[in-house]
Structure 1
Amino acid sequence: MTPLNAPGADPFYFLGHDGPVARLVKDFPWGTTCLGRVETWPQSLKTATALLIHSPVPMVMLWGEQGVMIYNDAYSVFAGHRHPALLGSNVREGWPEVADFNDNVMKVGLAGQTLAYQDQELTLHRKGYPEQVWMNLDYSPVLDETGRPAGVIAVVIETTERVLAERRNRQEFQRLQSLFAQAPTFMAMVSGPDHRFTLVNPEYNKLIGNRDVIGMPVREALPEVTEQGFFDLLDHVFTTGEAITRTSLRVLLRWRDQGPLEERFVDFVYQPIRDQDGTVAHIFVQGSDVTERVRAENHQRLLINELNHRVKNSLAAVQSIVTQTLRHATDPGQAAQAITARIMALSAAHNVLTQESWDSADLRTLAQAAIRPFQAPDRNTIELEGPDMRVGPYAAISIALALHELGTNAVKYGALSVPGGTVLVRWNVSGQSVFTLEWIETGGPVVTKGDHRGFGSRLILQVLPDQLQGKAELDFRPTGIVFKLTAAVEAISDHAA
């Protein structure tokens, strides 16, 4: 009896493998191709076929001038819907959308040369439609018994997910940089135990004399502050996870590492940013240069006290938005969009207050600025109804942020998520000097009360009423949600900010 592993028993004995593609290779009518029946294959073709069939790495061999395709199980996954029709086909016909690319591969490989591509971008039809893919490709000639190139073998490693992830990371990084660049205060991000600069905004660059510090540890980037205690503060935040705030702190900085030291005074916050496992990975630095003096000494002191008060509140608002959004975020892209939208809502409220020198704000003007991003371009989806009245800066910012969160929720889940939905924002003052603000949705889908409360829910139901010493209610009616805030007129008129 002839042994089963002998050439006479099984012409494919040389494969030594019984995987899915190996079985297809055994059943394929090779006699219909230029390779001919397997019994006529040269040993070089058999050896190369066995080599790639056993490999866990995606590999394909293109044999002869026509580039007849033989590949392994890993490559069949890469081929998608093109498998198993690719097996035994000519490569230029099997991948017609990249025929010119493969034509060059065959010419170079059969000339005895190699090719290598890193993150090569190609458009392939693997799922019935064109898709962009990126791959690391390595091509080598396969020599026959005479030492001449008879085919080309390719190692194909798809890098699409990594390339797209890196692209998304760059986009998120650029969006974060844009957010930093628009901030009126100085901001920076340092990472790791050596506090290496990863982000700085124009105001921070201005503070340190426009030095190029990205990628440098703080001790190396700003050597003149070595003995001024800032490194100890950064080390403390990184080690303990405790935020540190300082006001009117004196710092001596050198302009572009040249010339004498210049005295500056800064307000700042060092805020720890934690990884998913809870460890501190970054420190968010934000603050303001409060050095300049333009008025007489007594007026100067009053101005600085007022400025410090406002800056701390602005920084606290930005800090809260960034920290709370990142803390509950599951997707970096959505987190960046939410941070940007919330800071823009805060900025819109600041613009209204700035026009009035931060004394107070017209409530209708404030509400119009807050709801503007949610108005439909072809119709007035949000109506405002209420008497003319003014609110203090503290209440203005709180109300603006609350209207932003209500508008965002309405666009995602409420009345503004469907055609025909409307919102009425109305306010009034009763005879008992009680201020009432209502957000009333109609025409939207039925909404139900959820168990999870995110940053927006906590803002409108806890933070807002606490800040205004009032009461907030959220009613999930069949016609849409209704939010109601009541507070003393005195509380919303308070000019403290």
Structure 2
Amino acid sequence: MIYNDAYSVFAGKRHPHLLGSNVREGWAEVADFNDNVMKVGLAGGTLAYRDQELTLHRKGYPEQVWMDLDYSPVLDESGKPAGVIAIVVETTERVLADRRNAAEHERLQQLFEQAPSFMAMLQGSQHRFELVNPEYRKLIGERDVLGKPVGEALPEITSQGFVELLDKVFETGQAVNRTAEKVLLQKPGEGVEERYLDFVYQPIKNDDGDVTHIFVQGSDVTLRVRAENHQRLLVNELNHRVKNTLASVQSIATQTLRGANSVEEASGAISARILALSAAHNILTNENWDGADLAVIVTSSLEAFDGPGGNRFRIRGPHVRLGPRAALSMSLALHELATNAVKYGALSNEAGFVTIDWSVIRKADSSAFTLRWCETGGPPMPASDRKGFGSRLILRVLPMELGGTAQVNYGPDGLIFMLETTMQAIEESVPGD
């Protein structure tokens, strides 16, 4: 073996003993490889290897190395191969660097694929899809977008300003962030779907500082936004109901005090009416303020007035669902009717009773609702000109709230109250102001 200075560096601790030695003995650990090289070279052939991996003992221990190797014959005076010239370029550092880069790329690719957020890589000024991860494919309805410009792959977003936003990022090199941004996406076979996204458009630049790609990353926050909107709606609705309740309490207090003969009478009446209002609130709260069953409202409103045997009220009627406004108004009205019956009517003695029934007559364009309160077995009750809080409530406030009419008659057996309105009015789900 005869070699130059560069080869002496490559040989490591084997230099200078390697100089002048037989190649098979000098590199004993790769003797078979070099036997083939000599055989081919001395036969006039050539060999070339790129990034050839070999295990050499250059530093006293086995070491994996990679090399570019070129072998060709050296001819003597007669033109016959007399030796082999070897050009050796060690590529170990580059090969290991490439492998590290490949492993890192694989790791990043796995992270890209497994990321819980949606990701996409857009290439060039047309924003052509180069990479998309599963979450992005899920967001856009599993459409095939690879290799297509954004405007062609997702035509519905063109008119929503997102392509112009990408153009701005590509031209200025400045990232763009958006929070809870509304986007309308055309899901194949499902129509347009409204989504809310947190996302960033991050420019990727080359060594010259020019933008070559835009990295898109974000999260679908539709459920969060809808929950926040629902919570905001609930808070507004709660404020609305609190204001209505306070207004009702204020009205109860004012009207009761106006007609009371004493502080004690006023205090008792106010407490009883607020308790009636509270009972209706409890029922509506258990139903998430979606409404209440009329039979439940009637039973709850009259429970405190029933006798020990529970036989003072005869209640019957079909299933009817009241809206919150109707439930509150009906509870207060029933409380006033029962209070009046205890003082002056059928509940003022041991024999009287009250029948409460209701009916629904359904028509093509609307349905009529009628509720009757009929007292039996009480003392005679002549009509009175005195209009207290209870009278105003059942004859003016209740029909006004429910868009109907109300009347009171005094029969030989006692008071008869009738309310007539429509099913649409009593099913109204949103309390009025």
Instruction: Tell me which interval the TM-score lies in, with the shorter structure as reference length.
Output: 0.3 to 0.5
Normalised to the residue count of structure 2, the TM-score between the two structures is: 0.46
Mark the structure with the bigger radius of gyration: 2
Normalised to the residue count of structure 1, the TM-score between the two structures is: 0.40
